[in-house]
Structure 1
Amino acid sequence: MADKPERDGEDVQEMRRGLLQGAGLGAALALLGGAITPAQAAEGAPFPNHKRWKIVFVNHVTTNPFFVPTQYGIQDSTALLGMDYQWTGSANADIGEMVNAVNAAVAGKADAIAVPIVDPKAFEKPIQAALDAGIPVFAYNADAPQGSSNPRLAYIGQDLYLSGYQMGERIASLIDSGLVALFIATPGQLNIQPRLDGAAAAIKKSGKKIDVQTIATGATVNEELSKIKSFYLGHQDLKGMFAVDAGSTQGVAEVMKENSLPAKGVHGGGFDLLPRTVQLIHDGFLDFTIDQQPYVQGFYTVVEAFVFLASGGLVGPANINSGLKFVTKGSVDPYLTTSTRYEGKSTKPQIVPRTGAIKG
């Protein structure tokens, strides 16, 4: 935040009112849990004047509803810190389009770049070119494989293999034997393939006689639903349907409802908090979904870039795990009774009142 000239008492009050109306500050204060009062935020001026840095977010599915809260997190964080951003990339997971977007950001002299590393090799050269040009690059949502030579500075997102492994353990606790379908939008992409690998490994380790079949569904919600419906019609003896991406999880929930599968002893679950998924958990058609907090994947990435730029690179970036939280019928109600930017269900900036004990 830039330094401001001294003002008299009336002007300070006006400045406070203006800041309180801003989406960025409101969201940031909510995220910080009220640790800073609006007056302190207005008067603290923690940073000297700085260039209005621009961070370019390259994405693999730019119109996917999963990333709506991510974009709100970016908007709020850049507003708070006095930065600009661009949202670009590919609508259908085209790696070439993503690489071109990174290269365009370098040519356009972006101040920072953020990109999900959904391919193990394709991004190494463009990221290195950005770093050579003095542009810091951060991975969000998907990271390079462990031990790879990708030079990104830090990763902000879920531990993908671990989240899949824990889902696999949950599946093995629900099902003793039989066919289990694991649906994945785009096999091989590093934002979801590690989850599938982890789930399969946990099921295998359980020692149960579970026959796992993997089904590719596609990059759009309609395509995913169609593939899931088709698979079920050909395998009506299955015991479970689970997915490792948001669109496929919603599709599983829809098919579970359409065919009354829980009443037939079939279990289902997956990832993320699309509104339809959340509703169908409440209605008893899915056993669980896993929240990976997409809002903070945008918010924290901007913060990391800002601190790196503000410190001249002296403050080194660090990996941030955006977490894993199972949402079930017993814990889903708060997701239905609130409508906020944090889950992508409202454009309205707001402070969400919290009541009751905090559960870890």
Structure 2
Amino acid sequence: MAQDRENQGDVQSVRRGLLQGAGLTAALALLGGAITPAQAAEAGPFPAHKRWKIVFVNHVTTNPFFVPTQYGIQDAAALLGFDYQWTGSANADVAEMVNAVNAAIAAKADAIAVPIVDPKAFNTPIQKALDAGIPVFAYNADAPSGSANPRLAYIGQDLYLSGYQMGERIVSLVDSGLVGLFIATPGQLNIQPRLDGALDAIKKSGKKIDAQTIATGATVNEELSKIKSFFLGHQDLKGMFAVDAGSTQGVAQVMKDSNLPSKGVHGGGFDLLPRTVELIHEGFLDFTIDQQPYVQGFYTVLEAFVFLASGGLVGPANINTGLKFVTKGTVDPYLTTETRYEGKSTKPQIVPRTGPIKA
């Protein structure tokens, strides 16, 4: 599944407001100057450097959620003079991911990024990489608090908190009855903390909500099938909510197919797959939560660059990529723009904005 992205031709656009005062390279890019990646590595304020290579290991390499993540990697790599590789597993196979990390070490990568989706499996290979002088960053999923995993920093959402806040939103929508909570791969650290947070919030509410957990699988088609089957066997349910992108899209589709909002059923989940956004606009899903996958790629490359450029003197630092509820009342900007930042366009662009900024 490895896909090398080398010798990118043009500097890609910088995410809005990302790097104020980012230097000559970013300034010229914003002004329309054409700079090759090799030139980007030589432009001020940084001295010329080798084309470092960062290997991104992923747990679901073909999942549409990670399309904007890959665009973020591409853009930062072009800006900072990097090559990159996108590799790992297509179906959340931890052994395949560990093998990919070991392969990156053997190939003498300059940096490695990996979602730590298993609480122990990555401890040894990450330590092996660090011992070889290769910095390793976690993105999208992190090791449990207090674990022995030696990764340098985590770039991603506070997963438990996001799940807890989703649970609070569920409680505000549903007074009692059966609620289905869908999760692609139970136990994996990119999504299990969300489920744990949601269940804790529901329990703390004291409401008579029967929350049942349903595993859906690692592919979008499989997820939709499992969600349909659960609904057909539990047509008295009061809500369907998901903690991953593919399952959320599946929930939205089932909500539409059976017109469940008209029957008082509520639904919601995570991430901004195009179909999910459309069905929120049409009123078939109450909300989704944006965790900004673009910057999970961009910021990770940026952290690797600063670490390598400073000889390890600067950083690394954890970065929380945020939590934002998207509802029918706030979804329109996601429909009226097609950008790399949300994975709906390949075209590099600076997106103009108007009106006040809402926190």
- TM-score clears 0.5: yes
1:88-126 CA distance string (max 9 Å, x none): 000000000000000000000000000000000000000
Q: Is the 8 A contact 1:30 1:351 kept in 2?
A: no
Q: Structure 1 residues 219, 172: closer, same or farther in 2, change over 3 A?
A: same
Q: Is the 8 A contact 2:140 2:190 kept in 1?
A: yes
Q: Structure 1 residues 314, 280: closer, same or farther in 2, change over 3 A?
A: same
- The CA distance in 2 between the partners of 1:207 and 1:197, in whole Å, is 16
Q: Structure 1 residues 123, 39: closer, same or farther in 2, change over 3 A?
A: closer
Q: Is the 8 A contact 1:164 1:244 kept in 2?
A: yes
Q: Is the 8 A contact 2:272 2:342 kept in 1?
A: yes
1:181-220 CA distance string (max 9 Å, x none): 0000000000000000000000000110000000000000
- CA shift, 1:29, in A, is 6.5
Aligned to 1:359, the other structure's residue is in SS state coil
Please show how residues 28-47 of structure 1 align to structure 2 within 5 Å: 28=15, 31-32=18-19, 37-38=27-28, 45-47=44-46
- CA shift, 1:296, in A, is 0.1
- CA shift, 1:51, in A, is 1.0
Normalised TM-score (structure 2): 0.92
1:41-60 CA distance string (max 9 Å, x none): 87961100111100000000
Normalised TM-score (structure 1): 0.92
- The CA distance in 1 between the partners of 2:29 and 2:87, in whole Å, is 35
2:187 aligned partner = 188
- CA shift, 1:135, in A, is 0.2
- The CA distance in 2 between the partners of 1:40 and 1:258, in whole Å, is 44
- CA shift, 1:33, in A, is 7.0
Q: Structure 1 residues 28, 337: closer, same or farther in 2, change over 3 A?
A: closer
1:123 aligned partner = 122
Aligned to 2:283, the other structure's residue is in SS state coil
Please show how residues 1-360 of structure 1 align to structure 2 within 5 Å: 22-24=10-12, 26-28=13-15, 31-32=18-19, 37-38=27-28, 45-360=44-359
- The CA distance in 1 between the partners of 2:349 and 2:338, in whole Å, is 10
Q: Structure 1 residues 168, 29: closer, same or farther in 2, change over 3 A?
A: closer
- The CA distance in 2 between the partners of 1:28 and 1:335, in whole Å, is 15
Give the residue type in structure 2 aligned to 1:307.
V
- CA shift, 1:34, in A, is 8.8
Show structure 1 runs of 4+ deviating over 2 A: 21-24, 26-44
1:5 aligned partner = none
Q: Is the 8 A contact 2:11 2:29 kept in 1?
A: no
Unaligned runs of 5+ in 1: 1-18
- CA shift, 1:23, in A, is 3.8
CA RMSD of aligned residues (A): 1.8
Give the residue type in structure 2 aligned to 1:181.
G
Aligned to 2:212, the other structure's residue is in SS state strand
Unaligned runs of 5+ in 2: 1-7, 34-41
Q: Structure 1 residues 40, 278: closer, same or farther in 2, change over 3 A?
A: closer
Q: Is the 8 A contact 1:28 1:76 kept in 2?
A: no
- The CA distance in 2 between the partners of 1:66 and 1:100, in whole Å, is 23
Task: Answer with 1 or 2: which has the greater Rg.
Answer: 1
Q: Is the 8 A contact 1:142 1:190 kept in 2?
A: yes
- The CA distance in 2 between the partners of 1:114 and 1:318, in whole Å, is 14
Q: Structure 1 residues 59, 332: closer, same or farther in 2, change over 3 A?
A: same
- The CA distance in 1 between the partners of 2:79 and 2:260, in whole Å, is 46
- CA shift, 1:87, in A, is 0.2
Q: Is the 8 A contact 2:16 2:351 kept in 1?
A: no
1:319-347 CA distance string (max 9 Å, x none): 00000000000000000000000000000
- The CA distance in 2 between the partners of 1:232 and 1:130, in whole Å, is 46
Q: Is the 8 A contact 2:15 2:341 kept in 1?
A: no
Give the residue type in structure 1 aligned to 2:28.
P
- The CA distance in 2 between the partners of 1:335 and 1:33, in whole Å, is 24
Q: Is the 8 A contact 1:117 1:144 kept in 2?
A: yes
Give the residue type in structure 2 aligned to 1:247.
G
- The CA distance in 1 between the partners of 2:68 and 2:17, in whole Å, is 15
Give the residue type in structure 1 aligned to 2:100.
A
